Structure 1
Amino acid sequence: MNAVRLPALVVVAALVVGAFVFKTQEKEESLQVADPISYSELSFGSSVEEVSGDVWFCVGPTNKLGGIDEQVITITNLRPEITEGLKLSVSNSDGSLTERSIQIEAQGVLEILTSQERDTASYVGVTIEAPQGGVLVEQQLQATDFSGVDQRPCVTTASSSWIVPWGTTERPGTQQTLLLYNPFQATAVADLLFVGNQGLRETLDSQGVVIPGRSIVTYDLAERIPDTALLSSYIEVRSGQLIVSGITIADGTAPSGIKGLNASYGSPEIGGDLFLPGSDGETFTGSVVIVNPSESAVEGELVVRPTNPDVFVEPVGFVLRAGQREEIRLSDYTRFEGIGPYSLYVRSLDNPSLSASYIRQFSDQEVSIESTDSSISSTTGLHVLPAIGYGSTHWFLNVSGSSGNPAVVTLFNPSLKSISSVTLSTEQDMNLPDPFELDPGDRATLQIDTTALIEVGSSSPVIVVREWLGPEGWVNAYGVSVEDSVVAIER
């Protein structure tokens, strides 16, 4: 493991803000604090007495799995004092457990190589207990041979229901694995259902799956349901709670040419109003996979929300029977061409029981990276981002870019009627934009050409996403919201 200090930061920022009036929505919106489920949330107050403490969960493959170079858990201490009481627990599939206390210097960073904690396990589940809060925990995976990298915050949510809208078992050359992590003492029992080419189905061993306490169970979908280009998974836990992740490793030999690494956590909730950051309108339009895990049919729309106030785009309608899913390829709709930057809104017109993910992938032939750094070259990439039904007024995010290949931070206002005033700040000396406003549906981008820890505050909920594209692969993930700042976005 390596302990380092947060570096001094120099940032080149470029802010692009548009304006938008959401023409298709006439219903009055209400913002309700309805205990929305946030993927990653940290407690952070002016003193340790004001915080409730956090428990972080990370799950993924180690370098003992073929193709994976390393799994790194990064813990950032946001406080100006040394952490106290941090506890690290690492579990694997045979029930073995290691535990130890850790300490991080004031505003320091600790990197943990899981291969040094569990030197024989292919998959591990990691729990980090932070009784005083104030730490941000992330997982990074790298698969150099597959041009794959995945970096995203670990989660602070355990749930009895999970949905993984997208996966693939296309052959040859793809691995698709469900990871079921039980960080608690009691045994959990789960039922798994899948939606593939033949509709809703089970496998012989997908009902009553036992996950012993403080262990991880791997479920190989490529072996059980092969040759399925799009495979959705539903996980219902009869007893206990789990953390669920879908791992995709693709080497580029499948007919579709898919190549890269994805390790996205499932969605722990369903809803009728879900939001995605969309695109800059120029590259990688991607697909939206929408699933209906409920027992009733759902009629809905995928709404494209351009930042240009003079542009209106007709939504894409859909009807999903119970358990059904649909993939909407944005490139199939010529009306989306040339509209500029946009965000995406998945809305139910009746039964609020949807989950969705945004999938983008590219190959050498589809994109070139414009960069002043001669060492940067186009390879391949894959990323999956779940749609969420909440925003926050307080975010933290770690961003890593370079002068020749900057990272991009996207901030967008999911509200249907409220303007949000946004402020960006940091403890370090940084060149950040002055406070600005985002109209309903508006989207702004910020380019960062170094490693930066950024704090985002806003007058009404916004959604914050970071993205980086380079020769190692593609990284795209939400920031980490702060406790008591999360609000469900509802009509």
Structure 2
Amino acid sequence: MSDDRWQPGPDDDPWYDEPGQDGPEATQDGGSGAWGSQSWSSEAGQHAWVPEGAEQDQWDPHATGDLGGGGVAGSGDAWDARSWEQDAQQPWSDGDDAGWEQRSWGVEGELWDSEDATLPPTPFEVIAPHLKGNNGKVTGRRRSGALILIPSLVFVLLAGLAVAEPLVLPPAEQVAAAVPQEAASAGLWYCPAVAGEGEESSLAIAPAGDQASRVTVVRHTPEGPVSGSPADLDPGTQLDLPLENPEPLSVRWSGGPSVVTWRVSGEESAAASCVAGPSPTWYLAGLDTAAGAQSTLHLFNPFPSDAVARVVFTTPEGQVTLVRTDNILVRAGESARLNLGEFQPEVADLGVIVEVQAGRLVAQGEVTNDPIEGETGAKGRTLVPAAPAPSDFWAFGYARVDDNSSSRLSIQNPSEREAAVEVRVSSPAASGSLLGEVSVPAGGTAGIDLADVSEDAEFGVAVDVVNDVPVVVARMAALRTDDGREGVATSLGAEPGSEWALAGGSTGGRSARLGLYNPGIETISVAVDAGPGTPEDWGDVAVEPNARVQLELSDVAPDQEAIPLRISSDGPVLPELRSIAEGSPLGSWTALAAPAASWAGPETRPPIRRDPALPSVPLVSAEGSGEPAIDPAQGG
């Protein structure tokens, strides 16, 4: 290489004082003091300073000629898009001549080395603007304390001369690390649905961990919230609390965490886990207003200020927005019930998006099926949980298909792009009906029948998004028995996890079964704790890849009203409980267990940072003397 070209120096001195001195081999890739692999655009295929076989006078880093393989993506004498702003005619221009384009220097979005680096005082030929230097950054000899960036550099292009303007780099913003935090020691569950006339409802509450939990039920009446007496629950126990009034509820817990399931019984039965907290947006799939079905949206505001929501509908034809549902007011401490058939009649696979415009809300859906004459379908009632966000993966621990029962999926795509999903089931049939990808229209919904997809009557289901467009998935099951009893059950899918808890298990006049589904590729060991009477072999249940194991709660006790469940595993699984009444009506329901994240909260939190523009606040003395103590670290 010619002496009038700048070459990197050895490891201990990356810059030579005199440009005429030779450095390490310029074609070397990587290593301290050598040209890095980012010296030339990867599109141009050049990863060295001078290509082998090319004479120095044939190669010009500013040129787009073809000698030495120097063609680049830019036009004219411009650098390619990776080194310079694409199609820029001046190598220091980013469109407004304000300075270097961000990726022109260094790597990973950085410019020059932030440690007071300066360029050697040499002519332009000496300075290679794509030089990496040591550790992937442009480095220089330390001079004064200030960072001086290209005060005046002149690059001679084939097209002519141009002068770079000075650029002062602002100091890099320091991003504070997240702060670890302990699991929550108190929390709330919200139960939006209410019992109808002539129906009975109850709460099932059970500790989720190894600590005792104190719980308080709050009834949200028209006159205001009314708190009941606190109850202390030991691990492995379950409190079944009958409810006298059809009111939405919240349940406070402290100490050890608890989980809560709301149940209703009567001519039709239903159950669902209560909701861990409000969300700015709620997504519901699996609603229906066609062929005798009626869907209701419950909006619950247990908070001290009014809330306003915008309700948007997703249908098989796409998204529907209505002026009538643009501003739904829910007063503080009250709930609202929307009959969705008034807004979207005769729509199967109906979805809803609740956008909270002001205040806070908890949402839940409800579907009552009563097929009209000539229509197929089971009669029953089911609760439809809402999701706070779409996801690219959903799993279900229970689906059933046989001569009397059927299951299907309803998929909601709230985005503006078409979604593509793949469905997997445990014990897949040799010739299943699910072939290839299933498309879900932008802003719309799609239904998938699960008939003939598994060798087993009861199986697990996983839904995978394959094109990065997240969706919401609900599973509906229509159940019938040989003696003619029938019912329906709906469940919202979830991401598999390793710690779960569920209240509401019972064998008192009911048949209850826990399904454990492993959608992964490795065998998972699962431990299930059902309180006193838990079978010993439930402590280590092996669930093979893409397989499902079911456990009968009658193995714990054949006639026990309360059987709480805690599930832990060494890998991600999905537990779901199916419960059926032994008498008439069928009284069927399914409930997904609550994941640990719903009661433990996030593992980290953002650091607390004081705004220096705010005045200092005195701290009370730790001795309790009443004398204010100023914390110097807070600027006081």
Give the TM-score category using the shorter length: 0.7 to 0.9
CA distance in 2: counterparts of 1:115 and 1:244, whole angstroms? 23
**Deviation, structure 1 residue 256:** 3.5
SS in 1 for 2:286: coil
Number of residue-to-residue matches in the alignment: 407
Q: Is the contact between residue 186 and residue 213 of structure 1 (CA under 8 Å) also seen in structure 2? A: yes
Q: In structure 2, do the counterparts of structure 1 residues 258 and 228 end up closer, same or farther at CA, with 3 Å as the change threshold?
A: farther
Does residue 461 of structure 1 match 2:461? Answer: no
Letter in 2 for 1:56: W
The alignment status of 1:385 with 2:491, answered yes or no, reads: yes
Letter in 2 for 1:215: E
Match of residue 288 from structure 1:
409
- The amino acid across from 1:290 in the alignment is I
Contact 2:212/2:255 (8 A) holds in 1: no
Give 1:305 shift: 3.6
Would the alpha carbon gap of residues 466 and 360 (structure 1) be closer, same or farther in structure 2, given more than 3 Å must change? Answer: same
Q: 2:206 corresponds to which residue?
A: 76
**Which residue, 273, 277, 295 being the options, matches 1:157?**
277
1:189-228 matches, within 5 Å, as: 189-196=308-315, 199-228=318-347
Name 2:14's counterpart in structure 1: none
Paired residue for 2:130? none
Deviation at 1:270, TM superposition (A): 0.6
| Residue pairs, 1:69-148, within 5 angstroms | 69-76=199-206, 84=214, 86-91=215-220, 95-107=222-234, 109-116=238-245, 124-144=247-267, 148=268
In the superposition, relative to structure 1, how do residues 143 and 229 fare at CA in structure 2: closer, same or farther (>3 Å)?
Answer: farther
Give the alignment's TM-score, normalised by structure 2. 0.58
Query: Does the Cα contact within 8 Å between 2:288 and 2:367 map onto a contact in 1?
Result: yes
The question of whether the paired residues in 1 share the 8 Å contact of 2:260 and 2:502 is answered with no
What is residue 482 of structure 1 aligned with on the other side?
596
Distance 1:115 1:406 in 2: 26
* Residues 285 and 170 of structure 1: CA distance in aligned 2, closer, same or farther (over 3 Å): closer
Cα contact 1:304–1:315 (8 A) shared by 2: no
Cα distance 1:53–1:249, how it changes in 2: closer, same or farther (>3 A)?
Answer: same
- Give the counterpart letter for 1:73 in structure 2: L
Find the counterpart in structure 1 of residue 190 from structure 2: 57
1:353 paired to 2:470 = yes
* SS of alignment partner, residue 497 of structure 2: strand
- Per-residue deviation, 1:261: 0.8
1:395-454 CA-to-partner distances (Å, cap 9, x unmatched) read 344421258x53111011232x33321122344133342513222222100112243223
Structure-to-structure mapping, 1:26-37, within 5 angstroms: none
Distance 1:304 1:52, change over 3 A: same
Question: In 2, Cα distance between the equivalents of 1:340 and 1:286?
Answer: 10
State the Cα distance separating 1:135 from its structure 2 match.
2.6
Contact between 1:246 and 1:265, CA under 8 Å: does it hold in 2? Answer: yes
Question: Could you tell me whether the CA contact under 8 Å between 1:62 and 1:114 is conserved in 2?
Answer: no
Alignment CA distance shift 1:299-1:109 (3 Å) = closer
Distance 1:218 1:165 in 2: 17
Q: Which residue number in structure 2 is paired with residue 436 of structure 1?
A: 541
Per-residue deviation, 1:80: 9.0
Once the 2 structures are TM-superposed, how far is the Cα of residue 113 of structure 1 from its aligned partner?
4.1
Query: Do 2:494 and 2:574's aligned partners in 1 also have CA atoms closer than 8 Å?
Result: no
CA change 1:316–1:408 in 2 (3 A) is farther
Report which of the two structures shows the higher radius of gyration computed on alpha carbons: 2
CA deviation after TM superposition for structure 1 residue 479, in Å: 1.6
Alignment partner of 1:233: what SS? strand
Distance 1:427 1:246, change over 3 A: closer
Post-superposition CA distance 1:109-156 (Å, at most 9, x none): 54444434xxxx6xx321111132433322111231xxx211232121
Amino acid in the other structure paired with 1:352: V
Supply the AA of the counterpart residue of 1:433: D
Measured in 1, the distance between the counterparts of 2:421 and 2:378 equals 29
Report the CA distance shift for 1:96/1:205 in structure 2 as closer, same or farther (over 3 A): farther
Q: Counterpart amino acid of 1:465?
A: E
In 2, Cα distance between the equivalents of 1:337 and 1:480?
Answer: 26
Distance 1:311 1:453, change over 3 A: farther
Q: Does 208-217 or 288-297 show the bigger shift? A: 208-217
Deviation, 1:280, is: 5.8
**Cα distance in 1, alignment partners of residues 465 and 502 from structure 2:** 30
Residue of 507, 522, 531 corresponding to 1:418: 522
Q: Is the contact between residue 189 and residue 240 of structure 1 (CA under 8 Å) also seen in structure 2?
A: yes
CA contact (8 A) 1:272 1:351 kept: yes
CA distance in 1, matches of 2:206, 2:332: 28
- Deviation track 1:363-422 (CA, whole Å, cap 9, x = no partner) reads 5xxx31xxxxxxxx541101111121242334344421258x53111011232x333211
Please provide the CA RMSD for this pair. Answer: 3.1
Q: Aligned pair in 2 of structure 1 residues 50, 208: CA closer, same or farther (>3 Å)?
A: closer
Match of 2:350 in 1: 231
Which segment drifts farther, 286-295 or 310-319?
A: 310-319
Paired with 1:264 and 1:296, the residues of 2 have a C-alpha distance of: 25
Change (3 A) 1:179 1:281: closer
Q: Which moved more, 1:458-467 or 1:469-478?
A: 469-478
- Pick aligned residue for 2:379 from 259, 263, 267: 259
What TM-score do you get using the length of structure 1 for normalisation? Answer: 0.74
Cα 1:228/1:96, change in 2 over 3 Å:
farther
CA distance in 1, matches of 2:398, 2:493: 10
Q: CA offsets per residue over residues 50-74 of structure 1, 9 Å max, x none?
A: 752120110112243xxx5122223
Aligned to 2:305, what secondary structure does the other structure show? coil
Cα distance in 2 between the residues matched to 1:311 and 1:226? 36
Give the drift of 1:324: 1.3
Query: What is the DSSP-based 3-state SS (H/G/I as helix, E as strand, rest coil) of the residue aligned with 2:397?
Result: strand
Change in CA separation of 1:299 and 1:82 when aligned onto 2, cut-off 3 Å? closer
State the AA in 1 paired with 2:353.
Y
The residue type paired with residue 419 of structure 1 is T
Task: Tell me which residue corresponds to 1:42.
Answer: none
**Partners in 1 of 2:317 and 2:466 — Cα distance?**
27
Distance 1:213 1:330 in 2: 42
CA shift in 2, pair 1:398/1:307, >3 Å: farther
Aligned residue for 2:353, secondary structure, equals strand
Could you say if the C-alpha distance between residues 109 and 278 of structure 1 is closer, same or farther in structure 2, counting changes exceeding 3 Å? Answer: closer
Contact 2:204 2:239 in 1 (8 A): yes
- Provide closer, same or farther for how the CA distance between residues 339 and 191 of structure 1 changes in structure 2, counting only shifts above 3 A: same
Residues 3-53 of structure 1 show CA distances to partners (whole Å, capped at 9, x for unaligned) of: xxxxxxxxxxxxxxxxxxxxxxxxxxxxxxxx9xxxxxxxxxxxxx97521
Q: For residues 447-473 of structure 1, give each alpha carbon's deviation from its aligned partner in whole angstroms, at most 9, with x where no partner exists.
A: 122432232221112111110223332
Cα distance between partner residues in 2 of 1:151 and 1:211:
24
Are the structure 2 counterparts of residues 281 and 257 from structure 1 closer, same or farther at C-alpha, using a change threshold of 3 Å?
A: closer
- How does 1:241-390 map onto structure 2 within 5 Å? 241-253=360-372, 255-279=375-399, 282=402, 284-306=405-427, 315-331=435-451, 334=452, 336=453, 338=455, 342-363=459-480, 367-368=481-482, 377-390=483-496
Task: Quote the offset at 1:81 in angstroms.
Answer: 8.8
